[in-house]
Structure 1
Amino acid sequence: MTDIYRAAERLMGMQDADWRRHASPWSVWTRFSCLPLMVLAIYARQWIGWWALPLFLLAGAWTWANPRVFPPPADFGSWASRGTLGERIFLARNRYDVAAHHIRVAHVLTALSAIGVLPLIYGLIVLNPWATVLGLVATILPKVWFVDRMVWIHANITNSKPGDPLPDPTLPHERTPT
């Protein structure tokens, strides 16, 4: 399960500047539109046939561009910004003292999200709107909870409170190798 996070990060090709931009609440909240747009494009094949393919490619382009199109926030203290900063810490958890219970919960939430993909795929194959919506919700809700867990990780590692102003998103000091 550990490698899925790094694989996703590599697939997105995120650099430091991209992460700073992705910490914008606009980026975080609009990110939740990516999967529904892809699902809609796939589902639209029943109405518009092959014209759904350009819509799917547009949704894929939006998924890649989303973390890059918004300017970095002036203050990184919001829930959304701290979720992004916490995700960076989580992805580098081998270099930080992330509590084991946070890692366990992140794995469980990722697994729940993956399970939600099953009815989503079924719904898209047979064009069942109820299975599609159920799968979409079952995939996205654990992801929202995952972001909240990343906020906790950020708060624990930085000894800060979510909502407090945070003008600099500098990551905390890494632990000393033993």
Structure 2
Amino acid sequence: MKIMTLEKRIANIFRMSDEVWKHHTNPWSVWTRLTVLPLIILGFWSRSWFGWWSILIIVIALIWNWINPRVFPIPKHTNNWASKAVLGEKIWLDRDKINIPKHHQLAPSILSVMAALGIILVVFGLVQFSLYPILMGAILVYTGKLWFLDRMVWLYQDFKK
């Protein structure tokens, strides 16, 4: 019996059906989703200015994170980097059912850990009101995530052959 991957559990929490994944292949969905982290950072950072009202920014970011893969239309074609990244990510999520080639198994996990370490730095910086760890953490998050997505393009192209 294979265990469901963490990423698949997260996708299930977000109710990422096959139809939602089709919408998420729209490049606008991929690129605009990158706004979620800065909005969350702004929300937590602004607690010193807005007090409890800063939660509104965080809620908006979380709602945006939820509706983003649903709001854009299914693209007419998926022959672009962002769409292929999402299609590869879908393959990666199904790795408990699909045999992923050896040369694709290690890097995505390392890049996910890199992004997770970035989140830890961001949280530390937000708690301390320290800009340096926030910026370093955000750089790690985006580097890890975008590099991960690039690996997903490669995975998708290998599966498409």
Q: How does 1:24-39 map to 2 (within 5 A)?
A: 24-39=26-41
**In the alignment, structure 1 residue 48 sits paired with structure 2 residue 50:** yes
The answer to whether the 8 A contact 1:119-1:134 is kept is: yes
Aligned mate of 2:107, from 105, 108, 122? 105
In structure 1, the residue matched to 2:118 is: 116
- Paired-residue identity, %: 35
Distance 1:89 1:126 in 2: 39
Q: Do the aligned partners of 1:98 and 1:157 also contact (CA within 8 Å) in 2? A: no
Q: Distance in 2 between matches of 1:4 and 1:95?
A: 14
Alignment counterpart, residue 90 of structure 1, candidates 92, 97, 122: 92
Contact 2:5 2:93 in 1 (8 A): no
Indicate the residue corresponding to 2:77 in structure 1: 75
Name the structure 2 match of 1:11: 13
The 3-state SS of whatever aligns with 1:93 is: coil
Distance 2:28 2:148 in 1: 18
Gaps of 5+ in 2: none
Partner secondary structure for residue 140 of structure 1:
helix
Partner of 2:140: 138
For 1:74, what is the secondary structure of its paired residue? coil
> Tell me, what secondary structure is at the counterpart of 1:33?
helix
2:37, 2:79 → 1: CA distance? 26
Hey, which bits of structure 1, 4+ residues long, moved more than 2 A?
A: 94-97
- Give the count of matched residue pairs: 158
> TM-score, length-normalised on structure 2?
0.94
RMSD over equivalenced CA pairs, Å: 1.2
What's the offset of the Cα at 1:112?
0.8
* 1:109 shift after superposition: 0.4
TM-score after normalising by structure 1: 0.85
Q: Is the 8 A contact 1:116 1:136 kept in 2?
A: yes
The CA deviation at 1:17 is 1.1
* Structure 1: distance between partners of 2:106 and 2:153: 15
AA partner of residue 14 (structure 1): M
Conservation of the 8 A alpha-carbon contact between 2:5 and 2:96: no
More helix by share: 2
| Match in the other structure for 2:61 | 59
For residues 115 and 140 of structure 1, the distance between their equivalents in structure 2, rounded to whole angstroms, comes to 11
**Contiguous gaps of at least 5 residues in structure 1:** 160-178
